Amino acid sequence: MSELNPISLIAAKRDGRTLSGAELKGLIDAYTHGTVPDYQMSAFLMAAYLNGLSAAEAAALTDAMLASGTHIDLSGVPGTKVGKHSTGGVGDKVSPILVPLVASCGVPVAKLSGRGLGHTGGTLDKLEAIPGFRTDLSVEQYREQVTSLGGVISGQTGEVAPADKKLYGLRDVTATVESIPLIAASIMSKKLAEGNDALVLDVKCGRGAFMKTEADARCLAETLVTIAARHDTPGVAVLTNMDVPLGRAVGNWPEIREVIECLRGEHAESALMQVVYRLAGEMIALGGAAETPAEGIAAARAAIERGEALERFRCLVAAQGGEVSVLDAPDTRPHSAPVADVPVPAGAEGRVVDLDAYAIGEAAMRLGAGRQAKEESVDPVAGLSGLKKPGDAVSPGDVLARLHTGGAPNLTAVKERVQRAYSFADSVPPPAPAVYARHTQAGWTSL
Ligand code: URA
């Protein structure tokens, strides 16, 4: 390409023109190496946000961001490796259940995860609530663990998609996060670098998700699967409900406690486990250990019932330096400060008909479970547990949720926020489905 002129690329996007792959690659390379400054990239991002990117542009942007760093080579690891990504939500503790579960069914899973930001949680923060658990594995340790154990969950090293790291930080402060092609390129530049042979994508839809409407969630799912296919990576996207929090705990240690319960076979029919089983079924089928997703689901249920998934989680925690004894006796987890445990009482009689995931995510953040800016640390024990969910009956004085914190937030304000997140009625409509539909290159199937 002739010498890069960022001003003409910004103007082209501002005027709704389509950029070539070479132009986008030039721009991303120059930004990654610091020759295009943040102020020009910010203008470009806003133009892309407002005018959109074509499918070819989104794919080219992904390629450029992927090429900015290492592509982890797992070709020496036996088996079909299957990755998983969630677009993020409130109470989304699926990965720490799913990775050991799928691994215990014979399909290796290598996963790079992220941290929570704003009202959403992140898998790394959750796992680090287990004392000693390390998420800063080297590429060699990551490769070794997926070979020996069939499962690994680590943080994105600086070598993977550095362009995304820089761009995401800029999008966060320039109001350009909520763009389907920018989100798709960001996700896929990391997922394609993980080294897996196939991908399952949990695209969350609803109040607590990036994608608030089904139409947007479907569009993101299609974009992700198309980009994966261009990289010869079979992908399945599953559309799942994020109007209400997933599970009954939100926050890092509270969610790990729920993970342990799920792996022990408790909550088997919950919305959380419906999501886990659907994703597990797809992954087990993609990995070749089942003929169909339905057979994969049956294999996953059996692995939970036989305790094999819990045993694999125990091995994963031990391999990554975590204190395994707290999995057997969660009450023995040492805390560095006294932990408040405050009930939120119900004020009326009736049935829960709705619970606003966004409000609960915000309440967890105020308790110290999340961060407003990337550099902030989190309080591992902070969050909510025992959430009443749609369909549950309550009487005055019953506990809607318990608040936990090791800090000093305004607990009265958080309590009120949680109470306002609930809606009650005398009778309940049928529960909303946990899983809506699946999408592959062949099209959509309702579930
Ligand atoms: N998750 C990502 O990795 N990137 C985005 O842009 C949004 C969610």
Residue 231 appears among annotated catalytic residues: no
Q: What is the torsional sign of CA 353, 97, 83, 181? A: positive
Q: Which amino acid residue places its CA nearest to atom 5 of ligand 1?
A: 183
Question: Does residue 155 surpass a pLDDT of 80?
Answer: yes
Between 189 and 121, the higher pLDDT residue: 189
Long-range contacts of the stretch 30-37 (C-beta < 8 A, 24+): 30/4, 30/6, 31/163, 31/166, 31/167, 32/68, 32/162, 32/163, 32/166, 36/4, 36/6
Which residues are 121's β-sheet partners? none
- Backbone φ and ψ for 250, nearest 5 degrees, come out as -135, 130
CA distance 358 to 400: 16
pLDDT in tens, 209-232: 989 999 999 999 999 999 999 999
Distance (Å) from CA 29 to ligand 1 centroid? 20
Which residues are 112's β-sheet partners? 154
Chain centre to alpha carbon of residue 266: 22
CA distance 151 to 4: 42
CB contact at 8 A, 223 and 181? yes
| 386 torsion bin: left (phi>0), alpha (psi -120 to 50), beta (else) | left
Exposure letters 33-66 (e unless 16+ CB within 10 A, then b): eeebeeebbbbbbbbbbeeebeeebbbbbbbbbb
Q: Percentage of the chain surpassing pLDDT 70? A: 100
**In degrees to the nearest 10, what's the CA dihedral of 345, 369, 275, 227?**
150
CA distance 369 to 117: 10
Residue 164 appears among annotated catalytic residues: yes
For the chain, the distance separating the N- and C-terminal CA atoms, rounded to the nearest angstrom, is 47
Q: Is any atom of ligand 1 closer than 6 Å to the C-beta of 211? A: no
Q: Which amino acid residue places its CA nearest to atom 7 of ligand 1?
A: 183
Chain centre to alpha carbon of residue 41: 26
Other Cβ atoms within 10 Å of 421 Cβ, number: 23
pLDDT of residue 376: 81
Q: Is any atom of ligand 1 closer than 6 Å to the C-beta of 120? A: no
pTM: predicted TM-score of the whole model, two decimal places = 0.95
pLDDT in tens, 371-402: 877 778 899 999 999 999 999 999 999 999 99
Between 276 and 426, the higher pLDDT residue: 276
Instruction: Using DSSP bridges, classify how beta strands 393-394 and 350-355 pair: parallel, antiparallel or unpaired.
Output: antiparallel
Q: Is any atom of ligand 1 closer than 6 Å to the C-beta of 183? A: yes
**In degrees to the nearest 10, what's the CA dihedral of 44, 47, 48, 50?**
160
